[in-house]
Amino acid sequence: MSQAQTETNSGAAAAESSSDQLARDSLRILPLSIIPLETAPLQRARIVKNLHLHGVVEIFQGEHTGSGQLETDQLSAYFGWDPNKEHSDLQRIRALANLSSYDIYSLRIELRRLGIDVNDHKGLTLSEEKSKELAGYMKSFTGPLLQQVYGGGDKNIQDFSQLVGMFASPNKADAQKNLQKLANKLEIDLLEVPTFLEDYADTFLSLAYFKECLDDVVPKVMSFLDNIGDLKSNMQLQRTAGFLETCNLMEPQLNSIITSITGRFERFDQHTQNLWDDISASSFHRIRKLIKSHHKTVGGVLCGLTTKMDAWETKFGTNSQGAAVVARSDFIMSDMRHGIARLEELEQSAPDIADR
């Protein structure tokens, strides 16, 4: 094989790896390679959320080709399935397409509920790169844990896998004693502490992941609301049928969603900040159950908001108020307004968080 061929193949592998990584870390992409399906070409496809927040099957995607998408009811004709009976692949894809988010934490819950196994369980974990990226968010959870066992922080800890490794083979006598104390508090054997730490890591990594998504999308929503305010003051648009009514409906809906979901994360913080003051098996399991019970609604709301705001930013740029007035108003009327009411309903359906 020539050097040029080797470099080409290497580049293709790297691109594939990058694409796989993006899918694993995404709220809105579900690679069908992880789902057992009978139709081989579907294993190369993926389900994505479109701008109207519908799950569609993306058959191909490329910079020059765009995104080739099929609604679920178009799959039978496309793949030549018997129109008189529902193909087993169609049953699975329809169920998956209807999920409100494709983040790995919501998928774990939903795939179990749907009785769907996966081909590759690695596809239901965040990428190594994303886990490292979340290190800053994880400090509030790793810090108290390190304090408990080592009496202080450790600047060399980049992610939780390193932390679990340290606790599995502690190199300090005091750490060994403190690990035993921790095991006693948790009412587990010392050898079970690494397993507990893995559960702890995954639980709070999910919280860090969603918090990063929230921190990313909130400024975009605020910028979009500024756009609405700007457009509402335009005399031409004030005479455009239905425009003001649409904006006056979307503004309170988006404000309500953002207020509610940011409040939810504040409540999560209230419940977790004192966890290590009196750690026990019951207190940890209570916190873990609380966080997991919100994965579906948090994931769904963040998936919807991210899909909408990324589409707006892609079309008009980060300084979107400089874009043409009519183009922005048309996009709001044709695409942005669809699905916002469903997101508000989903946010309102979240489980209650009891006071501490």
Specify whether the CB–CB gap between 333 and 246 falls below 8 A.
yes
Q: Which of 177, 163, 202, 162 is nearest to 291 (CA)?
A: 202
First to last CA, the chain: 65
Question: 198-220: per-residue pLDDT in tens?
Answer: 888 899 999 999 999 999 999 99
pLDDT value of position 218? 98
Question: 12-24: per-residue pLDDT in tens?
Answer: 444 446 787 889 9
Mean pLDDT over each residue of the chain, to the nearest integer? 88
pTM given for the model: 0.88
Specify whether the CB–CB gap between 295 and 109 falls below 8 A.
yes
Please give the Cα distance from 312 to 306 (Å, whole number).
10
- Compare 316 and 160 and report the one with higher pLDDT: 316
pLDDT value of position 156? 61
pLDDT value of position 158? 59
Which 8-state DSSP code applies to residue 69?
E
> Looking at the predicted structure, is the pLDDT value of residue 232 above 90?
yes
Question: 69-79: per-residue pLDDT in tens?
Answer: 999 999 999 99
Please give the Cα distance from 55 to 26 (Å, whole number).
14
Q: Which of 132, 134, 339 is nearest to 216 (CA)?
A: 134
pLDDT value of position 105? 96
Per-residue CA distances from 17 to 48, 54, 104 (Å)? 18, 26, 17
Assign 179 a pLDDT band (cuts: 50, 70, 90).
confident
pLDDT > 70: what percent of the chain? 89
Ramachandran angles phi, psi of 47, nearest 5°: -95, 135
Give the 3-state secondary structure of residue 66. strand
Q: Which of 100, 129, 121, 35 is nearest to 295 (CA)?
A: 100
Assign 306 a pLDDT band (cuts: 50, 70, 90).
very high
- Compare 155 and 322 and report the one with higher pLDDT: 322
- Compare 196 and 331 and report the one with higher pLDDT: 331
> Looking at the predicted structure, is the pLDDT value of residue 353 above 80?
yes
Lookup: tokens for 5: 């061929």
pLDDT value of position 14? 43
Give the 3-state secondary structure of residue 339. coil
Assign 11 a pLDDT band (cuts: 50, 70, 90).
very low
Question: 254-281: per-residue pLDDT in tens?
Answer: 999 999 999 999 999 988 887 877 788 8
Q: Where are the domains of the chain?
A: 20-125, 131-192, 207-348
Assign 166 a pLDDT band (cuts: 50, 70, 90).
low
pLDDT value of position 15? 44
Lookup: tokens for 34: 């992880």
Which 8-state DSSP code applies to residue 348?
H
